[in-house]
Amino acid sequence: MRDDLQTLVRQTIPILADANAGRADIEARVLALAGDAALARRLIDWIPEPFGMVLVAHLGDLRFAKTFKAQNAAGEWIEFPLEAEPIFQHALILASALCHNGPQEVFQAVALKSSVVPAVNKALQAGQKLADGTFGATRMLGIPAETYGHAPLRRGVFRALWDRLRGR
């Protein structure tokens, strides 16, 4: 699935960058590509986030949370490590490559769809300095927390304990 997901991320980027595509068109095209509504939603919502992070990281000494939040069926916001979403990892690698090697118009078009770029723009318009800025955990509104399992953030603790028990 890792290679398939990487391919889906790569194929979704030009769809998101298409300046002539409206929201409904993007959603329909990504759904046709992914073949699953939940996966399509994750591709559409996640891919722009690392693109925006890469773009604004060049503006100053900014720090980003290593976590994100998703809401569960009970309405609670649950925090997860970014590593819990493989789409983020694949998109981050591609965002960095596109930022440095182009095409720049594709990189910028996707970055502008992130939640990060408008947040930075709003801060700059309010006269705030970006130096030493810190971004909190991104809230993923369209993706249920249940997508990521029931043990958020504890995974690392349990994994470390498991590795110790196995002698690693």
Per the CB < 8 A criterion, the answer to whether 29 and 37 are in contact is no
Per-residue pLDDT of the chain (168 residues; tens, 9 = 90+): 455 999 999 999 999 999 999 999 999 999 999 999 999 999 999 999 999 989 888 777 778 888 899 999 889 899 999 889 999 999 999 999 999 998 999 999 999 999 888 888 887 788 777 766 678 788 888 899 999 985 444 444 444 544 554 444
What's the pLDDT at 3? Answer: 59
pLDDT of residue 138: 86
Please spell the DSSP secondary structure of 52-115, one letter per residue. Answer: HHHHHHTTSS-EE-SEEEEE-TTS-EEEEEGGG-HHHHHHHHHHHHHHHHS-HHHHHHHHTTSS
Q: For residue 81, give Cα distances in angstroms to 70, 74, 103, 118, 123.
A: 11, 20, 30, 23, 25
How much is the pLDDT for 157?
45
Q: What is the pLDDT of residue 119?
A: 81
pLDDT of residue 165: 47
Query: Would you state the pLDDT for residue 161?
Result: 46
Whole-angstrom distance between the N-terminal and C-terminal Cα of the chain?
A: 26
pLDDT given at position 160: 52
